[in-house]
């Protein structure tokens, strides 16, 4: 758990980067700090491991004030991932991943075991990659290594500064999925900086939207999309926030609320989609093909019905727009 | 990349060919005869030359590398332009003038020559040390700091291993230059193979000139070769691949 108590950062008397920020990141949750550049999100993140000093207020990590610890000791307890992966070119993958355990004085056996476990977590063969150097890996692989390096000493808290920002969209989405999978297993308390709205909606348990160092709204992604607190939040998420909010719902949700359509057996070459797929992707699929239906399959691959644009629209109206209209009145 | 390498190699062999042809010509004319007829003098001069280069280079490394490290620390960053300008200024004075200036301070002899050579070697080593440390991606330092490495650990585990390629290149430049410049030590009575070279010039005796000049050349080529080999040992594999591409 990370608690920010009235945290303020001033670079000079006129220049304030972060103003009275007060919020809590719950145990095992991902909070995404979102906002336009210069909003203070990276500064806020870097204050947690004291790469930036705190002017006023305090940051408490698991009941311990960050200022009570030695900065070096504090940082070794916090996983840190940066955008450009920050792998050291002179060290092998194993040396890179095992930096913090090495600093903490782990023995060789413990380190080897941990390395093997971590590499398996990201689906890379520890034997093959052990002696390789960072430049021999692809951008996606390097970023994966950057992530497991932060996990190496099993810190309860992780700070991630636009970790997937430098990757191309396809790889980025893949690694986001992988990372969520890993998070389900390791359950870290994560503070995650992003400027990508879609990434925030996908990754976050809660989103913190910042502007000029002030909190605009701190809420779950769906609340943020359906109940924007003010004009800035509304504008930031854009006119297509209804469509964006579709990515928070799956075909299964739709099935439970309004049910699926009958399958039209006369069409043979329709595409299929998994029932756990989100509705935004489903809608794109429907728009991209000529047929007006997509066959829905369950996890065993069995066809359980079909979905149409009409259905998505109906669901949008009931579930999401219903909420949206309430917020606009209130 | 491969084409470049091919041209580089071709050029190198062309130069080797020229040197061999020159040496063959010199042997044909018996210009090396002094090396054999006065071999004891030759060995003394060779040793003097070697010691001149060794002492001045080692001193320069001991001063310039730590100075480059200190000046790139955040605390001293502001003084960088000052130090760099002083060192640059030292380099703009012609080597002969440095020697002449040193005579007025240290008198004539070995020490004067060593001191002048030392002054002359500092710049390339210092400049390459600073450049090597400066070109390290600041994100690496940020990552290292964020993971809880101490400043000394960052220096020895991250900065120096990634800068060693550049530092060694500076040392190589300095040593090779030094071997050539050390021939001027004769002017201040510092000995070395310059004695034969200048005698040759004064007496129009190609024999002395070449018996002095060729060993100096061979020494320089050999030093260059050995220091390149040293790079293969000292530069970490990962850092080497990166600096080569």
The half-sphere exposure of A3 on its side-chain side, counting CA atoms within 13 A, is 7
pLDDT at A267: 65
Q: Do residue A74 and residue B148 have CB atoms under 8 angstroms apart? A: yes
pTM of the predicted structure, to 2 decimals: 0.79
Least confident of A2-11, A137-146, A161-170, B80-89: B80-89
Cβ atoms of A90 and B159 within 8 Å: the answer is no
A278 secondary structure, DSSP code? B
DSSP-derived 3-state class of residue B115: helix
Closest residue in chain A to residue B153, using alpha carbons only: A103
Residue A330 predicted with pLDDT over 50:
no
Distance CA B47, CA A160 (A): 60
| Look-up of token digits 């976050």 | A204
Distance CA B26, CA B210 (A): 8
Mean pLDDT of chain A: 88
> Which of B139, B241, B245 comes nearest A84 by C-beta?
B139
Burial of A128 (0-12, 13-18, 19+ CB in 10 A): exposed
Mean pLDDT of chain B: 87
| B158 at interface of A, judged by CB pairs closer than 8 A | yes
Cβ atoms of A83 and B143 within 8 Å: the answer is no
pLDDT at B60: 95
Q: Which of A216, A198, A163, A172 is nearest to A280 (CA)?
A: A198
Interface of B with A in 160-219 (CB under 8 A): 161-162
Helix (H) or strand (E) holding A219: strand A214-219
Please give the order of strands across the beta sheet that includes A272-274.
A272-274, A293-297, A303-308
Distance CA A92, CA A98 (A): 10
| A86 at interface of B, judged by CB pairs closer than 8 A | yes
The b-or-e profile of A173-188 (16+ CB within 10 A means b, else e) is eebbebbeebbeeeeb
Distance CA A313, CA A241 (A): 14
Confidence of residue B244 (pLDDT cuts 50, 70, 90): very low
Helix (H) or strand (E) holding A216: strand A214-219
Average pLDDT over every residue of A67-85: 92
Average pLDDT over every residue of A218-236: 89
Residue A34 predicted with pLDDT over 90:
yes
Residue A79 predicted with pLDDT over 90:
yes
| A34 at interface of B, judged by CB pairs closer than 8 A | no
Question: 10 Å Cβ neighbour count for A233?
Answer: 19
Percent of chain A at pLDDT exceeding 90 = 55
Give per-residue pLDDT as tens, B7-63: 888 898 898 898 888 888 888 887 777 888 888 888 999 999 999 999 999 999 999
Q: CB pairs below 8 Å between A and B: how many? A: 75
Q: Give one DSSP letter per residue of B136-175, joined into a string.
A: S-HHHHHHHHHTT--HHHIIIIIIHHHHHHHHHHHHHHHH
Confidence of residue A268 (pLDDT cuts 50, 70, 90): low
Q: Do residue A89 and residue B162 have CB atoms under 8 angstroms apart? A: yes
Q: Which one of B139, B147, B153 would you mutate to disrupt binding with A, by most A Cβ within 10 Å of its Cβ?
A: B147
Please give the order of strands across the beta sheet that includes A206-211.
A78-82, A157-161, A189-194, A30-34, A206-211, A214-219
| B140 at interface of A, judged by CB pairs closer than 8 A | yes
Helix and strand tally (H, E) in chain A?
Answer: 16, 13
Q: Do residue A88 and residue B158 have CB atoms under 8 angstroms apart? A: yes
Q: What is the predicted ipTM?
A: 0.80
From chain B, the residues in CB contact with A76 under 8 A are 147-148
The half-sphere exposure of A201 on its side-chain side, counting CA atoms within 13 A, is 21
Average pLDDT over every residue of B153-175: 94
Pairing assessment for the beta strands A30-34 and A206-211 based on DSSP bridges: parallel
pLDDT at A246: 84
């Amino acid at each position: 758990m990370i608690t920010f108590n009235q945290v303020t950062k001033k670079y000079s008397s006129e220049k304030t980067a972060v103003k009275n920020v007060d919020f809590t990141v719950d145990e095992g949750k991902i909070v995404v700090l979102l906002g336009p550049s210069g909003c203070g999100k990276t500064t806020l993140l870097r204050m947690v491991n004291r790469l930036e000093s705190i002017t006023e207020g305090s940051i408490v990590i698991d009941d311990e004030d960050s200022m009570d610890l030695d900065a070096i000791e504090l940082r070794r307890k916090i996983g840190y991932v940066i955008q450009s992966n920050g792998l050291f070119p002179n060290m092998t993958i194993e040396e890179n991943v095992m930096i913090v355990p090495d600093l903490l004085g782990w023995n060789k056996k413990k380190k080897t075991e941990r390395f093997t476990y971590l590499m398996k977590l990201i689906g890379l063969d520890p034997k093959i990659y052990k002696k390789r150097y960072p430049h021999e890996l692809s951008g996606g692989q390097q970023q994966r290594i950057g992530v497991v390096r932060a996990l190496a000493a099993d810190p309860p808290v992780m700070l991630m500064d636009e970790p997937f920002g430098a990757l191309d969209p396809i790889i980025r989405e893949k690694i986001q999925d992988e990372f969520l999978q890993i998070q389900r297993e390791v359950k870290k308390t994560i503070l995650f900086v992003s400027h990508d709205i879609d990434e925030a909606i996908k990754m976050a348990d809660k989103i913190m939207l910042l502007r000029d160092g002030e909190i605009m709204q701190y809420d779950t992604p769906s609340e943020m999309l359906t109940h924007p607190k003010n004009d800035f939040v509304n504008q930031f998420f854009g006119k297509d926030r209804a469509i964006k909010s579709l990515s928070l719902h799956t075909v299964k949700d739709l099935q439970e609320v309004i049910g699926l359509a009958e399958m039209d057996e006369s069409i043979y070459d329709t595409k299929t989609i998994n029932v756990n797929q989100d509705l935004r992707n489903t809608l794109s699929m429907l728009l991209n093909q000529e047929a007006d239906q997509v066959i829905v399959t369950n996890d065993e691959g069995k066809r359980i019905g079909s979905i149409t644009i009409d259905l998505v629209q109906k669901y949008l109206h009931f579930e999401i727009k219903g909420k949206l209209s309430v917020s606009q009145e209130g | 990349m491969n084409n470049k390498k091919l041209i580089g190699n071709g050029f190198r062999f062309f130069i080797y060919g020229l040197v061999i042809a020159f040496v063959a010509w010199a042997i044909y004319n018996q210009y090396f005869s002094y090396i054999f007829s006065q071999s004891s003098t030759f060995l003394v001069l060779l040793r003097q030359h070697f010691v001149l280069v060794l002492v001045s280079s080692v001193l320069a490394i001991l001063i310039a590398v730590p100075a480059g490290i200190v000046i790139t620390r955040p605390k001293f960053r502001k003084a960088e332009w000052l130090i760099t300008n002083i060192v640059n200024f030292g380099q703009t004075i012609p080597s002969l003038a440095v020697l002449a200036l040193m005579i007025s301070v240290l008198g004539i002899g070995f020490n004067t020559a060593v001191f002048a050579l030392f002054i002359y070697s500092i710049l390339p080593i210092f400049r390459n040390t600073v450049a090597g440390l400066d070109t390290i991606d600041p994100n690496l330092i940020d990552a290292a700091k964020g993971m809880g490495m101490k400043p000394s650990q960052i220096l020895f585990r991250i900065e120096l291993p990634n800068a060693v390629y550049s530092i060694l290149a500076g040392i190589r430049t300095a040593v090779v230059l030094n071997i050539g410049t050390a021939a001027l030590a004769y002017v201040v009575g510092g000995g070395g193979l310059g004695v034969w070279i200048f005698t040759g010039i004064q007496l129009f005796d190609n024999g002395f000139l070449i018996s002095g000049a060729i060993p100096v050349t061979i020494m320089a080529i050999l030093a260059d070769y050995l220091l390149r080999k040293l790079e293969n040992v000292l530069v970490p594999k990962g850092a080497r691949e990166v600096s080569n591409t």
